């Protein structure tokens, strides 16, 4: 039976988008994942798309979504990936488990595109490692 996870962030443009794709990929379909933001940015960050493409994962057609559209849905797991989302997210009464995995927001990085991409890769890999270790 497929389980469901909702990954929450503030803008739903970087961390939660990468986590959504990684959760499904790492679980090999055992988890259906969704991601959303408390204040959706309206886009998926191009460097998040690029960092995930390096792993062969295409998130270029993903969209930034509001957590409001998921409030009445049941989830086995809800994961917040930033402190702002943890503080501003409503309670999900249908969630069997709620976890907080804070990661640095790579969208806050400055510098050249290559310097920023280094940070996106680091955060992507941190998320990937966290999911893999949680699934063990």
pLDDT in tens, 51-95: 999 999 999 999 999 999 998 899 999 999 987 655 656 567 678
Q: What is the pLDDT of residues 18-55, one digit of tens each?
A: 999 999 999 998 999 999 998 999 999 999 999 999 99
pLDDT of residue 1: 78
The Cα 126–Cα 115 span in angstroms is: 17
pLDDT of residue 6: 96
What domains are defined for the chain?
3-135 (3.40.50.2300)
pLDDT of residue 41: 95
The Cα 117–Cα 136 span in angstroms is: 29
Q: Burial letters for 10-26: b for 16+ Cβ neighbours within 10 Å, e otherwise?
A: bbbbbbbbbbbbbbbbb
Is 18 in contact with 124 (CB distance < 8 Å)?
A: yes
Residues annotated as catalytic are: 9, 82, 89
Is 19 in contact with 35 (CB distance < 8 Å)?
A: yes
pLDDT of residue 83: 72
Is 39 in contact with 11 (CB distance < 8 Å)?
A: yes
């Amino acid at each position: 039976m497929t389980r469901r996870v909702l990954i929450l962030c503030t803008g739903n443009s970087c961390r939660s988008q990468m986590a959504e794709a990684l959760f499904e990929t790492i679980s090999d379909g055992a988890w259906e994942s969704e991601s959303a933001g408390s204040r959706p940015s309206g886009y998926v960050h191009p460097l998040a798309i690029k960092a995930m493409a390096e792993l062969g994962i295409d998130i270029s057609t993903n969209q930034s979504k509001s957590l409001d559209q998921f409030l009445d849905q049941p989830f086995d797991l809800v994961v917040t990936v930033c402190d702002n989302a943890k503080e501003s997210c409503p309670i999900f009464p249908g969630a069997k488990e709620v976890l907080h995995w804070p990661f640095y927001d790579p969208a806050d990085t400055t510098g050249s595109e290559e310097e920023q991409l280094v940070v996106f890769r680091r955060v992507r890999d941190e998320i990937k490692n966290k999911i893999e270790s949680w699934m063990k």
